[in-house]
Structure 1
Amino acid sequence: MAADLTEIIDDLPLVDHHVHGATAHDLSRRAFEELITESDRPVPGWMTSFDSQLGHAILRHCAPVLGLDPHPSPEEYLARRARLGAGEVNRRLLGAAGVGHYLLETGYRGEEILGPAGMAEVTGVPVDEVVRLEQVAERVAASGCGAGAFARRFAEALGERSRTARGLKTVVAYRHGLEFDPSPPSAAEVTEAAGRWLAEAEASGAGEARWRVTDPVLLRHLIWTGLERGLPLQFHTGFGDPDVDLRRADPLLLRGLIERAEPTGVPLMLLHCYPYHRNAGHLAHAYPNVHLDVGLGVTYTGARAAALVAESLEVAPFAKLLFSSDAWGPAELHHLGATLWRRATARVLGGFVAEGEWSAGQAARVASLVGAENAARVYGLSGAAAASRARSARREGGRFMG
């Protein structure tokens, strides 16, 4: 039964509901090592990023996809990667990930990575977009906008920018923290805050960084305008680069907003959550509009990912859990997001079955829910849900449907 469950999970066409593009150019060793850590500091000369759970996972799980034995040295791995070239590396690793649909968030350094069209071309699977609220606001400001017109211009730009998108995202956790006033600001408050922001940006000189929006009034306004748009709204929570103050990224701080937003019916998607994934599970348990994933944590915990997956399954309803990788840059991160989740899920659910706590059919169904069907429902991806159910039915011939 354990072997059968592993095969079922390995065959799932996953929906990666929060991911970024892969890099399309070759990477030096230094560049590669700086992209396999969430630190934004240079890697010290006395260490290597390969000496980490993520680094060891690359050498174990990505090396065979590139034609090497498992566990090569970093030097052997990077030499092989360079010989193949970025295009072939992407083709192999993305193809082997088994993802059937990507929801690509394009608001972070999008010019350096593949966009939706590029990812679709490389992978041959559907790719839809998730739009970052803060990026839209910053482009409105940079295009020339008076404070009094900002709210209207932002709403118009967001409507146009997200016309074909499947979801929205906010990085308020990075820009301010999650302990903000959950009520929507008044029109006068938004105009006043926009005036301060625009004046400070104009006075600070050239460069895109001057438009970075950090005012909590404006961030609240972006979120409430996003809620009015009606698309699922993703929140970065928990683990990330040093730009986030982890103490202020606990999803429990969103309780006030969750309760105020509940009447809208908009799904609130708590991303990553580690090390606060149990807190996120409580919120998903208590509030019907809350969903979560543990995507980035799975990738960075490597051989310990099963512990994280097991904890995510403790109190959160299984219909509220989703798969994501949050991969950005090296295709290794896209591949490992899927591979480590599959292995961890098979180990955890297989253990439940072996102990007689769950039936094999229940385990297969939960894996399909988390891996694809929940995202398909939340984001309206009917084809993805049907593909997942059909694959399971073909694979098992009805054996695990009880």
Structure 2
Amino acid sequence: MSMELEVVPAGLARVLEELPLVDHHVHGATSHDLSRTAFEELLGESDRPVPDWMTRFDSQLGFAVLRHCAPVLGLEPFCPPEEYLARRARIGAHEANRLLLGASGVGHFLVETGYRAEELLGPSGMAEASGAPADEVVRLESVAEQLAAAGCGAGEFGRRFAEALWERTGDARGLKTVAAYRCGLDFDPAPPSADEVAAAAGRWLEEGGRLRDPVLVRHLIWTGLERGLPLQFHIGYGDPDIDLKRSDPLLLRGLIELAEPTGVPLLLLHCYPFQRHAGYLAQAYPAVFFDVGLALTHVGARGSALLAESLEVAPFAKILYSSDAWGPAELHHLGALLWRRGMARVLGEFVLEEEWSVAQAVRVATMIGAENARRVYGLGG
């Protein structure tokens, strides 16, 4: 990757190009070939079909694919979508994954496996395709739903979920909750009683479906805190299944304060359009960390503006890198590339304006790109 940005001091550009990133929240790359329709559907967060009068290539993300992924597959930048997809089909998903994941320069993947995992490469598959280590992040709601599917009485749900979680996470690096999707973040932050959990479990097990009861979501979160692994929260931007106004991280303040004695790191993921709210929480509470993954890929050429806002009030030791890529390996590659380019622009301007030294810029880039995640998740290196 060449920065080709006049504002970037050479030493900073070199560090950003060569830095082995830690992608602390990512999903697997698609393990099978994709039709044009399937590929385009994965270029957005909407769960609705793409109208026949438009293409998702006409977006910041679509333009970024044609600009930055085409050369990785041996094509000229800005080639037509038809040419890009034809090339992708010729080389196949396995080779596309190898090229794009390898070109990302990610040095470690933390792979969340709780959503349609059968369609994606798991941690071992990601490691094989990329040549970089990959570990697992376990979704709390998935463990609970698997327990229910295997058969579990309401009265024993609380105890058996804890047992299942400990067993399921023996080699995991972290946990994740999608409470923002299931019930919103405006839930009672206190741990529920055993009687409340049993009653809520009885209602859920009788009705079936996805786990949405806020009492059970609270139980999962507090059991996760007892497990002691870093706990990730989906925040903000996502598909239409989420009520965006109920996914503001400020709604978690009560839980953050109650959970503080545990010392468990709380990772706020994505955060758009609440990145400034997340930054406030990160500077106010020692256990809170955040990233601007997912949105960074979708804003494309506007990534530097998003990154600049994330750097406003939060201590730099509290910000991490993630792509939240799910599906096409283009998203894994672009997450890393757009982060590198955006950070180069933002930090380069700080240096040229003589607000920061080059050494400070290099240190912050290294912290956010890799060192903070290695410390939080105990990755070493």
Superposition TM-score, scaled by structure 1 size: 0.92
| Pair 1:134 & 2:141 matched | yes
Partner of 1:103: 110
Give 5+ residue unaligned stretches, structure 1: 202-209, 384-402
Cα separation, 1, equivalents of 2:226 and 2:92: 44
Partner of 2:33: 26
Partner of 1:91: 98
Cα separation, 1, equivalents of 2:34 and 2:251: 39
Cα separation, 1, equivalents of 2:125 and 2:172: 16
Of the candidates 230, 233, 253, which is equivalent to residue 232 of structure 1? 230
Task: Kindly report which structure 2 residues correspond to 1:250-329, keeping only aligned pairs within 5 A, or say none.
Answer: 250-329=248-327
Partner of 2:340: 342
| 3-state secondary structure, aligned to 1:224 | helix
Cα separation, 2, equivalents of 1:284 and 1:156: 31
Partner of 2:4: none
- Report deviation, 1:129: 0.3
Cα separation, 1, equivalents of 2:183 and 2:204: 14
| Pair 1:154 & 2:157 matched | no
Of the candidates 179, 204, 224, which is equivalent to residue 197 of structure 1? 204
Cα separation, 2, equivalents of 1:295 and 1:3: 26
Code of the aligned partner of 2:184: G
**Number of matched pairs:** 374
- Report deviation, 1:3: 2.6
Partner of 1:360: 358
Partner of 2:5: none
Cα separation, 2, equivalents of 1:3 and 1:85: 37
Partner of 1:79: 86
Cα separation, 2, equivalents of 1:70 and 1:200: 52
Cα separation, 2, equivalents of 1:279 and 1:243: 22
Code of the aligned partner of 1:69: E
Cα separation, 2, equivalents of 1:310 and 1:258: 25
- Report deviation, 1:179: 0.4
Code of the aligned partner of 2:339: W
| 3-state secondary structure, aligned to 1:182 | coil
Give 5+ residue unaligned stretches, structure 2: 1-7
After superposing on structure 2, the runs of 4+ consecutive aligned residues of structure 1 that deviate more than 6 Å are none
Partner of 1:185: 192
RMSD over aligned Cα atoms: 0.6
- Report deviation, 1:217: 0.2
| 3-state secondary structure, aligned to 1:382 | coil
Partner of 2:369: 371
Code of the aligned partner of 2:317: A
Cα separation, 2, equivalents of 1:8 and 1:221: 43
| 3-state secondary structure, aligned to 2:294 | helix
Code of the aligned partner of 1:111: E
| Pair 1:40 & 2:38 matched | no
Of the candidates 7, 12, 21, which is equivalent to residue 14 of structure 2? 7
- Report deviation, 1:4: 2.4
Code of the aligned partner of 1:260: L
Code of the aligned partner of 1:47: M
Code of the aligned partner of 2:133: P
Code of the aligned partner of 1:286: A
- Report deviation, 1:80: 1.0
Superposition TM-score, scaled by structure 2 size: 0.97
Cα separation, 1, equivalents of 2:198 and 2:32: 43
Code of the aligned partner of 1:58: V
